[in-house]
Structure 1
Amino acid sequence: MSHPTAVRFSFFAIAWSIATLGGVQVPAGAQSIELEQYDVQVNRLIARMTLAEKIGQMTQAEFSALEPGEIKRLALGSVLCGGNSDPQEGNAVGPWTEMYDSSQRQALETRLAIPLLFGVDAVHGHSNVLGAVIFPHNIALGCTRDAELVERVNRITAEEIRATGINWNFAPCVTVPRDIRWGRTYEGFSESPELVSQLGAAAVRGLQGSDLASPGSVLACAKHFVGDGGTQAEMRASSSFGDDVQLRLDQGDVVCDLGTLRRVHLPPYIPAIEAGVGSIMPSYSSWNGVKCSGHKQLLTDVLKIELGFQGFLISDYNAIDQITDDYKECIRVSCLAGMDMFMVPTRYREFTEKLTELVEEGAVPEERIDDAVRRILRVKAAMGLLDEGVDPLADRSWQSEFGSPERRAVARQAVRKSLVLLKNEGNVLPLAKENSRIVVAGKAADDLGIQCGGWTIDWQGKEGKVTTGGTTLLAGIRQAVAGSAQVDYTADANDIPQADVAIVVVGEKPYAEGLGDTGSLRLSAEDQQLIQRVQATGVPTVLVVLSGRPLVLGDALESSQSVVAAWLPGTEGAGVADVLFGDYAPTGKLSFTWPRTADQEPINVGDAEYDPEFKYGFGLTYGE
């Protein structure tokens, strides 16, 4: 099934096309898939629906919170599995597939048999599921500057999602993080609106393909609309990391004028719409004190009318609860602002009851309900879910390639293209494979959990041997020099063997969202001591930094001969070894400004006073 496009110009888009940064152009006008072409089919279906069935389509419940039979009883239109939701039968492909199918079978037993949308956060691969290929987080992909690679990564992600039957991914994140102390920084491709625009659209194309109804496509969701990367830092009472400066940025307030919002945070949504994104998720955050989940100007006037978005809006996890203390009022405000589907994981019964009351009282016009349902059903129609005789159950033939070596090879390519060489004094890198003795130091070198970061099996991620499978940096180094060099490993460097060179791996513990907000960007005391112990031996040091954002390196930068930013590379750590040993030269360029101190934050390219440790776009290669 092919979809014609319709060009929808806005004054914003025309003005923005004039501005460039880093050579990346943004389309002059927004194009959107003409989802309205399905309205004849959809309107016939809406005419047959009861109010309860319409509200069911607007409701998304958490699978783990559902009672048996409730999908059928409430005629739910959508189900999700959050970051910590796994099938009770086990966290593998088979149980995930059966969980999806069991939900879909209930939907098919309803009066109208409208299939479900089933959503997950597969933000760097199908990362909730054991055995999936876990790709580098977006901050790393931003350093590749390679839209074709980003599209390929997301195409593989879509195919691995479809292997479990699931048809909706809450990705890509097209945020423009402007303060790296924010715990979601690594979910963004860059601080540059232009680069985010380019790569975000590529991610949409990868997930959705050229046809939403094709077997290997999943519905994408651009998030979080709008300005989530521009919240102001606020003091908070405590920090999970014990920071000297305790800050909160997540779900905060973006304080700026409309011009700044348009210039910095809105641009990535234009090419995402042009690429045909079918769903968009409004942000938890506020704009000038008003929650985006209830902001009619942003959701309806700008997004739906000005930019011509014809898909549907899905609220974030319990996000509408933050609008006001009165839950019924939260529902009214958000619905009238333009929210179409509501992610109400555990309050779905209460939501359906109160929205029904609001319609019956005349507080929410049924025309607004019909508009929301029409948008949802348009997307389902584009996905082929409303076609006569369609079978929405999982196609298990996709499982044969799940986590395959061929897909891991693409992830390995993404790793090596994302590495940024920050320093290479005396051309210590690339390392010789033959006749050398290498010591690898640091627990992060042999910890797949640290290597993958947050949103990996668990919402927050976790340290340790994550059972999803993959190759740690240490294993990758040993594979690279097998039979040619001796590799010794020490987690804490308390007993350091003689060596020609030391590879010291340090970095952040896994985190996600607000728990990653921090006022301190320093290496941990443990990592600083590790570096000092190794360097006290006088051996040349290659410092590899695993992190979800630039970190203030201080003395470690000065005392190390070479420094490599490896970000959060995912399961294929051998990609780091590929670069360290010269099989591939480093080509990554910083997608974020690297500050000298945390006090410089927020600091971004284009600031009047701009004197960072490493500028946006910096990156060495061998021989420089």
Structure 2
Amino acid sequence: MVMNKFVFSKKLFVFLLSTVLLFSLLIPSMGDPKVVNGEALVYQDPNAAIPDRVTDLLARMSLDEKIGQMTQVDRTFLNSDNDIATYYLGSLLSGGGSAPTPNTPETWADMYDHYQSIALTNNLSIPIIYGIDAVHGHNNVYGATVFPHNIGLGATRNPTLLNQIGEVTAKEVAGTGIDWTFAPALSVARNERWGRTYESYGEDPEIASSYATIIEGLQGTNLNDPSTILATAKHWVGDGGTTGGDDQGDTQISEQDLRDIHIAPYINAINSGVGSIMISYSSWNSEKLHGHDYLIHDVLKGELGFDGFIVSDWAAIDQLPGDYASDVRTSINAGIDMIMIPDNYVNFINTLRTEVNEGRISMNRIDDAVSRILTKKFELGLFENPYTDRTFTASIGSQEHRDVAREAVRQSLVLLKNEGNILPLSKDLNKVFVAGKNADNIGNQSGGWTISWQGTSGDITSGTTILEGIQNTVSPNTTVTYNERGIGIKSDYDVAIVVIGERPYAEGNGDKQGSFGLERTDLTLLDKMKRAGVPTVVILVSGRPLIITDQLTDWNALVEAWLPGTEGDGVADVIFGDYNFTGTLPMSWPLTEEQIPINIGDPQYDPLFPYGFGLTYQP
């Protein structure tokens, strides 16, 4: 019996060994393409060249699978999460305020992984790419680092800082799984009335042209690096030059001016390898950009050689003239590769299929669009690593990241008046009075596109308000009194720091056709300071210059803080002298409302403060 057991065991061992050897010959080693029915799947081979992977995958895709790749849906409008697989959706997004509950980094990562797991169940296991408006940090996520808005970054004139901001933003976005930001905005704001002025780096294209470094920070040297994400240059093109500053309006200028002012920043962005470009809602000389074959196909893809993919703005093709089929046909034939629906995706898919089957959109155009999208997915490494890299999740809102944002605040501040060298303030003052609606309001100092689309006043996310920064900076012996409305101000205070300006807004709601002066509550507060006879330092929190000519004479100092984001202690760092002012105006400051719009180079140029103006502390 012992012998029989040995013989049996030996036979079993030989059988198992033979089986293992047989399967080792049939199953490819790690990194080799998978084999199905004797055919190698090149697109799933991470060692294959990306163009070969794209070609292989494209050849395997049905028309419906290709259309799915061209379709982007906001997560809140999914009829069912399973529609991601049913309709082969290539992309999801979170619009402003489209957040999971609770709004934490971990919940965002879980949500992303859930959607990705559904996408990977489709026949070809093509991952989704997820987009978000991380326009001044990962601003939709509670607790993320929120940087100054672009207008403040324009005041820094520091491309290296922009690169750092891009790197930090990429890590925080990647920490929630998301692969793609709809930023940076390369809009050149030419009219202060435009509600998106603060999304612009300034009125002259020189600043935005030098800031391709933020794209390099976001995308790194290799998109396959898990700490990088895809960037988007937006909004092509001329959105900052509309007549009257109307959002989604008409930019009525010559082609030469369009090229010199509004196209110029895109050249460096394209040379830096920006992965996607978003089209503007606006028109150029009455022709909607979303259907502009010349500017998209001929100039952007042809002349400028952009080889990434082009995405539409939110439901923007609906604004094209004609019926819906015409909207779809015109936008895609003009060269848009991915359509942000964002809700009625079934109708879009059915309409696009009909247009292709009827020959009004060619398969070559479809294949070109899908190839561009798939190329970026392969470059991002989504086929190999489709899920969230949780090593970055813990870095969201970290002190290291907030330190970069605090430095950005310091460099963005512009000193416009400093009568009698009242600034820098001593940290050892006896009594300091702080007032104003924007002194202790992190929502106001962060502005629009923060947690929600239009932004909200109040304690909307974590960070440091300007008041808290002041309290953290002065000596323990200094008394800091705060009252938003200025109640309690007396002549025995050494200084009053009044933090006023705008409340949050975003596109549409931010257009300002009425008075460009300060709010009545601000004027009332300033009058209290004047009557008290206390030296007054005004800190203006705003997304654009305001008309302050009549009030300026009453102030001892004026600091333009723009929309500094969550690190308000950066303001205190400078006004109390730990750092000098280095910021200069990225926009001309109008003397009167009648001067708006005013830009450097205008024939009758007589601003209150010129483009590039900014005082510093003298040694």
TM-score by length of 2: 0.91
Q: Distance in 2 between matches of 1:122 and 1:484?
A: 41
Q: Distance in 1 between matches of 2:427 and 2:487?
A: 25
Report the AA paired with residue 388 of structure 2: A
C-alpha contact 2:145 2:405 (8 A) present in aligned 1: yes
Of residues 197, 204, 207, the one that matches 2:218 is 207
Most deviating of 269-278 and 393-402? 393-402
Q: Does residue 475 in structure 1 map to residue 468 in structure 2?
A: yes
Aligned to 1:70: 83
Of residues 345, 352, 356, the one that matches 2:353 is 356
Offset, 1:325: 4.3
Aligned to 1:399: 393
Q: Does residue 114 in structure 1 map to residue 107 in structure 2?
A: no
Report the AA paired with residue 474 of structure 1: L
| 1:150-204 superposed Cα distances (whole Å, 9 cap, x missing partner) | 11011101100001000000000001010011000000111111111111x0111
Offset, 1:471: 0.5
Aligned to 2:587: 592
Q: Does residue 376 in structure 1 map to residue 373 in structure 2?
A: yes
Where in structure 2 are the equivalents of 1:69-468 lying within 5 Å? 69-87=82-100, 89-199=101-211, 201-233=212-244, 249-386=246-383, 390-466=384-460, 468=461
Aligned to 2:19: none
C-alpha contact 1:504 1:544 (8 A) present in aligned 2: yes
Offset, 1:385: 2.4
Q: Distance in 2 between matches of 1:455 and 1:40?
A: 40
Q: Distance in 1 between matches of 2:269 and 2:430?
A: 49
Offset, 1:279: 0.3
Aligned to 1:561: 556
C-alpha contact 1:433 1:484 (8 A) present in aligned 2: no
C-alpha contact 1:440 1:502 (8 A) present in aligned 2: yes
Offset, 1:434: 1.0
| 1:56-102 superposed Cα distances (whole Å, 9 cap, x missing partner) | 00000111111130000001110001002111x31111111111111
Offset, 1:378: 1.3
Q: Does residue 486 in structure 1 map to residue 476 in structure 2?
A: no
Report the AA paired with residue 441 of structure 1: A
Offset, 1:37: 7.0
Report the AA paired with residue 481 of structure 1: V
Q: Quick one: structure 1 residues 340 and 435, their matched pair in 2 at CA, closer, same or farther if it must change by over 3 Å?
A: closer
C-alpha contact 2:428 2:475 (8 A) present in aligned 1: no
| 1:250-307 superposed Cα distances (whole Å, 9 cap, x missing partner) | 0000111111111110011110011110100010000011110100000000000000
C-alpha contact 2:543 2:563 (8 A) present in aligned 1: yes
Q: Distance in 1 between matches of 2:435 and 2:394?
A: 37
Q: Distance in 2 between matches of 1:391 and 1:313?
A: 24
Q: Distance in 2 between matches of 1:37 and 1:285?
A: 38
Tell me, what secondary structure is at the counterpart of 2:525?
helix
Aligned to 2:29: none
| 1:444-476 superposed Cα distances (whole Å, 9 cap, x missing partner) | 10111101000000100011111x100001000
C-alpha contact 1:57 1:376 (8 A) present in aligned 2: yes
| 1:370-401 superposed Cα distances (whole Å, 9 cap, x missing partner) | 11111111111221224xxx121001111222
Q: Does residue 529 in structure 1 map to residue 529 in structure 2?
A: no
Tell me, what secondary structure is at the counterpart of 1:310?
coil
Q: Distance in 1 between matches of 2:618 and 2:382?
A: 55
Q: Any gaps of 5 or more consecutive residues in structure 2?
A: 1-47
Q: Distance in 1 between matches of 2:316 and 2:511?
A: 19
Q: Distance in 2 between matches of 1:68 and 1:103?
A: 7
Tell me, what secondary structure is at the counterpart of 2:553?
helix
Most deviating of 146-155 and 480-489? 480-489
Tell me, what secondary structure is at the counterpart of 1:80?
strand
Of residues 537, 541, 548, the one that matches 2:536 is 541
Of residues 498, 503, 514, the one that matches 1:504 is 498
Tell me, what secondary structure is at the counterpart of 2:439?
helix
C-alpha contact 2:429 2:494 (8 A) present in aligned 1: no
Most deviating of 477-486 and 277-286? 477-486
Q: Distance in 2 between matches of 1:267 and 1:443?
A: 38
Aligned to 1:238: none
TM-score by length of 1: 0.90
Offset, 1:556: 2.0
Q: Quick one: structure 1 residues 596 and 398, their matched pair in 2 at CA, closer, same or farther if it must change by over 3 Å?
A: same
Q: Distance in 2 between matches of 1:500 and 1:482?
A: 14
Aligned to 2:568: 573
Report the AA paired with residue 86 of structure 2: R
Q: Distance in 1 between matches of 2:265 and 2:126?
A: 32
Of residues 599, 613, 616, the one that matches 1:604 is 599
Q: Distance in 1 between matches of 2:552 and 2:83?
A: 57
Q: Distance in 1 between matches of 2:232 and 2:333?
A: 21
Q: Any gaps of 5 or more consecutive residues in structure 1?
A: 1-35, 234-247
Identity among equivalent positions (%) equals 52
Most deviating of 303-312 and 189-198? 189-198
Offset, 1:598: 2.1
Report the AA paired with residue 569 of structure 1: P
Report the AA paired with residue 212 of structure 1: L
Q: Distance in 1 between matches of 2:372 and 2:530?
A: 60
Q: Distance in 1 between matches of 2:360 and 2:83?
A: 27
Aligned to 1:12: none
Aligned to 1:59: 71
Tell me, what secondary structure is at the counterpart of 1:533?
helix
Superposition misfits of 4+ residues, deviation over 3 angstroms: none
Offset, 1:40: 2.4
Aligned to 1:15: none
In our comparison, the structure showing a higher alpha carbon Rg is: 2
Tell me, what secondary structure is at the counterpart of 1:445?
coil
Offset, 1:43: 1.3
| 1:400-434 superposed Cα distances (whole Å, 9 cap, x missing partner) | 22111111111111001110000001000000111
Report the AA paired with residue 555 of structure 2: S
Q: Distance in 2 between matches of 1:507 and 1:325?
A: 42
Q: Distance in 2 between matches of 1:39 and 1:371?
A: 12
Q: Distance in 2 between matches of 1:516 and 1:475?
A: 28
Q: Distance in 2 between matches of 1:65 and 1:507?
A: 36
| 1:556-577 superposed Cα distances (whole Å, 9 cap, x missing partner) | 2111010000000000000000
C-alpha contact 2:540 2:560 (8 A) present in aligned 1: yes
C-alpha contact 1:293 1:334 (8 A) present in aligned 2: yes
Q: Distance in 2 between matches of 1:38 and 1:312?
A: 15
Most deviating of 36-45 and 475-484? 36-45
Most deviating of 501-510 and 36-45? 36-45
